[in-house]
Structure 1
Amino acid sequence: MIILVFFLVHWYLSVLMQTVFLHRYAAHQMFTMRKGWEKVFYVVTFIAQGSSFLSPRAYGIMHRLHHAHADTQDDPHSPEFSKNLFDMMWKTRLYYNDILNDRDTISARFKKGVPNWPWMERFGDRWLVRVAWMAIYVLVYVQFAASPWLFLLLPIHFLMGPVHGAIINWYAHRYGYTNFTVDDTAKNLLPFDFLMMGESYHNNHHKFGGRPNFGGFRWHEFDPAYPLLKLLNSLRIIQLRRGRDEAYM
C-alpha cells in the first residue's frame, strides 16, 4: 500500500507541475507570476519530476513548435512521422537536447518570454543528480515494497516526465474523440481525465491553445488543474491573463 501511494503521489505531482508550470506557463503564458514565485515553481517542479526533470525553457520552446507545426515534418513529436511510440520519444529527446544545449536554429519568436533559470536548468540536468533521484526511489522500494513485482514500477519513476509527454503526444493524436475540427490529429483521449490533470483534452487545447481551462465543453469534461489555477490567482501567486481563448500561434 505504501508503494502504491508513493507511486500515485509521484505520478500526480509530476503531471501537475508539467501541465501547470511547463505547459500552461512556460509554453503558453496563460498566466504571469513574479520572478520569486517562478523560482519556487522551478524548485517544486524539480522535486516533483526528480530524475526526469524537464527544462521549462526547452519544454516551452519545443511545445510552441508543436502547436505551430502540428503533425508536419517540423513537429518535434508527431506520430504521423514516427515509426512507433519509442521512435517518437527518441526523436523528441534529440530535439529537446538540441534546445537545451543551444544547438538549435529555432526562430527567436518561439523563445520569447520563456522562463529561464540557468543554474537550476543545469543542476536538474546533471546525470549525478538524476542518478541520485533514482537511488532514492530504489531505496524507498527496498524499504517498503511488499512484492518483487512492484519493482517493475521503478522505470516509470525514472522517466516520469517523458512518460507523461509520450502519453499525450502519441495516444492523444491516435485515439479519442473530437469536439472541434483542427488542422491536425489532436483528440480528447479520456472523457473524464482522471489520469493527466486535464492534459488529455488535447483536441480542446489545440483548438484554444491559450485557454487555461482545457475542459468544460461537455458535461463530463473536468480539468483538475484549472481550479488550482483559480485558487493561485485568488491568492495572487499568479495572475491569469484575461481573454486567453485563442490559439498560441
Structure 2
Amino acid sequence: MIILIFFVAHWYLSLFVQTFYLHRYAAHKMFTMNAFWEKFFFLFTYISQGSSFLSPRAYAILHRMHHAFSDTERDPHSPHFSSNAFTMMWKTKNIYNDVLKHRVEPEMRFDGNYPVWRLVERIGDHWISRIAWGTFYVVFYIYFAEYWWMYLLLPVHFLMGPIHGAIVNWSGHKYGYQNFDNHDKSKNSLFFDFLTGGELFQNNHHKLPNRVNFGVKWWEVDPTYPVIWTLDKLGIIKLKKARVQS
C-alpha cells in the first residue's frame, strides 16, 4: 500500500509541476508570481521530478517551437513524424539537450521570459543528481515493496517527466476528438483528464494557447485549473485577467 501511495504521489506531483510551472508558467506566462514563489516552485519542480528534472528554460523553448511548428517536420515532438512514442521522445531528447547545452541558438521569438536558476539547473541535470534520486527510489522500494511486481514501477519513477511528455504528445496528437480546426492533428483525448492534469486537451490548447483553463466545453474537466484558481485567490500567483476564460 505504501508503494502505491508513493507512486501515485510521485506521478501527480511531477505532473503538477510540469503542467503548472513548466508549461503554463515558464512556456506561456499565463500568470505571474513574485521572486520568492518563482524560486519556490522552481525548487519544487526539481524535487517533484527528481531523476527526470526538466529545465524550465529548455522546456519553454521547445514548447514554443511545438506550437509554432505543430505536426510539421520542425515540431520537436509530433507523433506524425516518428514511428513510435519511443523514437518521438528520443528525437525530443536530442533537441532538448542541444537547447539545454547551448549547442544551438533558438529563434528570438522562442527565447526569453522564462524562470532561470542556474544552480538548480546544473544540479538537476547532473548525472550525480539523477543517480542519487534513482537510488532513493530503489532504496524506498527495498524497504517498503511487498510484492515483486511492484519493482516494475521503478522505471516509471526514473523517467517520470519524459513519460508524461510521451503520453501527452503521442495521444494528444493522434487520438480523440477536435473542437477546433487548428490546421494540425491536435486532439482532445479525454473528457475528464485525470491522467495528465488537463494536458490531454491538446486541441483546445492549440486553439487557445493562453487560456489557463484547458477545458472549453462545460463537460471538459481540467483538474489543474481549480488549483491555479485557488493559488490566485490566495495571492500566491496572479492570473492575467484579460486571458482568463471560464
Bin of the TM-score, shorter chain as denominator length: over 0.9
In structure 2, the residue matched to 1:226 is: 225
Q: Deviation of residue 4 (structure 1)?
A: 0.6
SS in 1 for 2:242: coil
Partner Cα separation in structure 1 for residue 105 and residue 78 of structure 2:
19
Q: Where in structure 2 are the equivalents of 1:226-245 lying within 5 Å?
A: 226-244=225-243
In structure 2, the residue matched to 1:195 is: 195
In structure 2, the residue matched to 1:53 is: 53
Q: Which amino acid aligns with 1:227?
A: P
Q: CA RMSD in A?
A: 1.2
Q: Which amino acid aligns with 1:23?
A: H
Query: Structure 1 80/245 Cα, relative in aligned 2: closer, same or farther at 3 Å?
Result: farther
Partner Cα separation in structure 1 for residue 157 and residue 199 of structure 2:
19
Partner Cα separation in structure 2 for residue 121 and residue 48 of structure 1:
14
Q: Which amino acid aligns with 1:233?
A: D
Partner Cα separation in structure 1 for residue 48 and residue 106 of structure 2:
29
Q: Where in structure 2 are the equivalents of 1:79-90 lying within 5 Å?
A: 79-90=79-90
Q: Deviation of residue 127 (structure 1)?
A: 0.5
Contact 2:46 2:53 in 1 (8 A): yes
Give CA-to-partner distance per residue, 1:163-192, whole Å, 9 cap, x none. Answer: 000001111111111111111111011121
TM-score normalised by the chain length of structure 1: 0.96
Contact 1:216 1:223 in 2 (8 A): no
Q: Deviation of residue 245 (structure 1)?
A: 6.7
Q: Where in structure 2 are the equivalents of 1:127-166 lying within 5 Å?
A: 127-166=127-166
Q: Which amino acid aligns with 2:233?
A: S
Q: Which amino acid aligns with 1:232?
A: L
Contact 1:209 1:245 in 2 (8 A): no
Contact 1:197 1:225 in 2 (8 A): yes
Q: Where in structure 2 are the equivalents of 1:1-150 lying within 5 Å?
A: 1-150=1-150
Partner Cα separation in structure 2 for residue 245 and residue 101 of structure 1:
35
TM-score normalised by the chain length of structure 2: 0.97
Sequence identity, in percent?
57
In structure 2, the residue matched to 1:209 is: 209
Q: Deviation of residue 216 (structure 1)?
A: 3.7
Contact 1:31 1:241 in 2 (8 A): yes
Give CA-to-partner distance per residue, 1:187-223, whole Å, 9 cap, x none. Answer: 011121111111111111111000000014132x111
Partner Cα separation in structure 1 for residue 4 and residue 15 of structure 2:
16
Q: Which amino acid aligns with 1:97?
A: N
Q: Deviation of residue 240 (structure 1)?
A: 0.6
Partner Cα separation in structure 2 for residue 223 and residue 85 of structure 1:
24
Q: Which amino acid aligns with 1:235?
A: L
Q: Deviation of residue 102 (structure 1)?
A: 0.7
Contact 1:61 1:111 in 2 (8 A): yes
Contact 2:51 2:159 in 1 (8 A): yes
Partner Cα separation in structure 1 for residue 149 and residue 234 of structure 2:
43
Give CA-to-partner distance per residue, 1:119-169, whole Å, 9 cap, x none. Answer: 111110011001000011001111111111110000000000000000011
In structure 2, the residue matched to 1:178 is: 178
Q: Which amino acid aligns with 2:163?
A: V
Partner Cα separation in structure 2 for residue 115 and residue 43 of structure 1:
11
Q: Deviation of residue 244 (structure 1)?
A: 2.1
Q: Which amino acid aligns with 1:158?
A: F
Give CA-to-partner distance per residue, 1:77-116, whole Å, 9 cap, x none. Answer: 1111112111101000000001111111321221120111
Which 4+ stretches in 1 moved above 3 angstroms?
none
> How many pairs were matched up?
245
Structure 2 unaligned residues grouped into runs of 5+: none
SS in 2 for 1:196: coil
